[in-house]
Amino acid sequence: MKLRSIELSLPGAAEAATFLTDIWGMAPASVEGATHYLRGSGSFPYLIALAESVDCYVRSTTFVCTADRLEQLKASVSAAGLNAASVVSHDPGGGYGIIVELAEGELLRFLVDAQEVAPIEGADLPVKLTHVVFNSIDAERTGHLVEDALGFRVSDRTKGMVFVRCNDSHHSTAFARAGISSLNHIAFEMEDLDAVMRGIGRLRDQDMAPAWGPGRHGPGANVFAYFIAPFGPVIEFSTAVNKVPDDYPVGAPEDWTWPARRIDQWGISTKDFDGLRAAEEKFRHRRDWEPQSLDVLTEENI
Ligand SMILES: [Fe+2]
C-alpha cells in the first residue's frame, strides 16, 4: 500500500498549477478538461490534481495497492459499516478500486492496476507525496477506525496528532486534534535535506517565508518547511519520514514533549499559528457523492 496522490477542486486551478510548476518545483503531467495534473520525479503519473470549481474541497486522497489488499479492504470496510463505492479511475494511470468515506467525510480512494510512468530528472522536483494530513473533530476515533477498517497502524500519538502508517514509513497520513474536519496539509517528499532548503530559497525569491520551519519533527524525524500556498492550503517541503519496524512501539503524547518554547528537534523553528490555522480550514471534504455496493464497478469517476 502506498500513498499516491491528492485530488483537489478549487477556483483558479490553472493559477495554482502555475505556482506549483514555476515556483514550488513540480513538473506538469497533463491537462484534461479543466483539471491540471502535476507530477514529481518518481514513478507516479501525478501527485496532485487541481480541478476548476467554485468551491475549495478535497475530491479524494488516493492510495495504490495490490488486488489481494483491495479484497481485504472491501471486507473490512463493509464490516466497519463505512460508506463506500466501487470506482474506475479516469485520472492519469487509470486503475480501479474503491472509495471509502471515513467518519468525518474524508474520502480515501484505493486503486489497483493504476499504471506508473518512467521517472524523470529535474532540478529539485519533489519525489512523491510523503503524507497528507487531515484535521479531525475526533482524531482518536479516526485513528482506531483506520486501524480496524483499513488495516492501517497508528505509529504515534502526540498532543496534537495521531500519526498513521500504511506501510513501513512512519506515517502516510495523520489526523490532527483540531476540532474541525478539513485538509491540514500536503507534504511533498524532496530528494534530501538540501533539496528542502533550496525549496525554501525558491520561495524566498518570491518573498514567501515559511509559515513554520525549517525544523526537524519529532515523530517521523523528517526535516520540514510549511508554506501557505497562494491558492489556499498548507503545503510542505519534507525529507522522507523514518522507516519503522513492524513491532514499532506506539508512542504516547508524554513520549513526545519539547522543552519550553521549542517546537522541533533543533529548537530553531518559528510558527505562524493563526495563518496556518486559517489555511488549514480552507479545504473541506467532498460531499456530493453516492455510496453504493462495493461489488458493482461503474464508469463513474469519483
Ligand atoms: Fe507534515
Mean pLDDT of the chain: 95
Distances (CA, A) of 114 to 99, 118, 239: 14, 14, 25
- For ligand 1, the distance from its centroid to the CA atom of residue 222, given in whole angstroms, is 8
pLDDT of residue 31: 98
Cell of 89: 479511475
pLDDT in tens, 69-98: 999 999 999 999 999 999 999 999 999 999
| Domain 2-114, architecture per CATH | Roll (3.10)
Count Cα atoms within 13 angstroms, Cβ side, for 13.
Answer: 23
pLDDT at 185 over 50: yes
Cell of 164: 498513521
- For ligand 1, the distance from its centroid to the CA atom of residue 226, given in whole angstroms, is 8
pLDDT of residue 302: 44
- For ligand 1, the distance from its centroid to the CA atom of residue 219, given in whole angstroms, is 10
pLDDT at 66 over 50: yes
Query: At residue 32, what are phi and psi to the nearest 5 degrees?
Result: -130, 110
- For ligand 1, the distance from its centroid to the CA atom of residue 270, given in whole angstroms, is 15
pLDDT in tens, 273-293: 999 999 999 999 998 888 887
CB under 8 Å to 108, separation ≥6 — which residues? Answer: 60, 61, 62, 63, 99, 100, 102, 150
Domain ranges in the chain? 2-114, 128-284
CATH class of the structural domain 128-284: alpha beta
- For ligand 1, the distance from its centroid to the CA atom of residue 33, given in whole angstroms, is 31
- For ligand 1, the distance from its centroid to the CA atom of residue 159, given in whole angstroms, is 15
Q: Are 174 and 159 in contact (CB under 8 A)?
A: no
pLDDT at 212 over 90: yes
Give the integer Cα–Cα distance in Å for 222 and 226: 12
- For ligand 1, the distance from its centroid to the CA atom of residue 154, given in whole angstroms, is 16
